[in-house]
A = this chain, B = another copy of it.
Amino acid sequence: MNEHPQPILPLDEDLNSALGFHVDEVEIGRVTGHFDVENKVRQPFGIVHGGAHAAFAETLASVGTFRAVAETGQIAMGMSNNTTFLRSVNGGRIRAEAIALSQGKTTWVWDVTLRDEQDRVCAVSRVTIAVRERRRA
């Protein structure tokens, strides 16, 4: 019998918590989430750090893949993250939607679109997640 891989970190200590990331909905092939623009996601000049967009896209794609494959005991590992920044954001809430373009046996490819408070696209990301067998202890 397969057992679900379990998170090993206290949930309030990981990167998602450090940056204030929230996952809202998880369906097969679709994940949404949001984060608020506070200083912890800004670069020194006050706009959202590009890495925050990239990291949030990575989180949504990883969660979406993991939830789908975990029941067979598999894990999800990020392979690549290609994020393009279209509009700088100073404040408000950023909402994102991740859609799986392909759901393969060994890799899932996601398109993630991030929008600002006015619903304008501020960044897009293509994230590839590998599906791997969990290594036994």
Q: Does A52 sit at the interface, judged by CB under 8 A?
A: yes
Q: How many of chain A's residues touch chain B, expressed as a range? A: 35 or more
Digit string of A41-77 for contact with B (CB within 8 Å is 1, else 0)?
A: 1111110011110111111001000000000000101
Q: What's the least CB distance linking A115 to chain B, in Å?
A: 12
Q: Which residues of B contact A84 (CB under 8 A)?
A: 79-80, 101, 109, 126, 128
Q: What's the least CB distance linking A109 to chain B, in Å?
A: 6
Q: Which residues of B contact A59 (CB under 8 A)?
A: 43, 49, 51
Interface of A (DSSP majority class)? mixed
Which of B16, B40, B86, B111 is close to A43, meaning CB atoms less than 8 Å apart? B16
The residue on B at minimum CB distance from A38 is: B13
Q: Which of A39, A55, A102, A107: most chain B CB closer than 10 A? A: A55
| A14 and B49 within 8 A (CB) | yes
Q: Which residues of B contact A62 (CB under 8 A)?
A: 43, 50
Q: Can you list 15 A-B contacts with CB-CB less than 8 angstroms, sorted by A residue number?
A: A7-B44, A10-B39, A13-B42, A15-B51, A16-B49, A43-B62, A50-B62, A51-B54, A51-B56, A78-B85, A79-B85, A80-B84, A84-B101, A102-B121, A107-B130
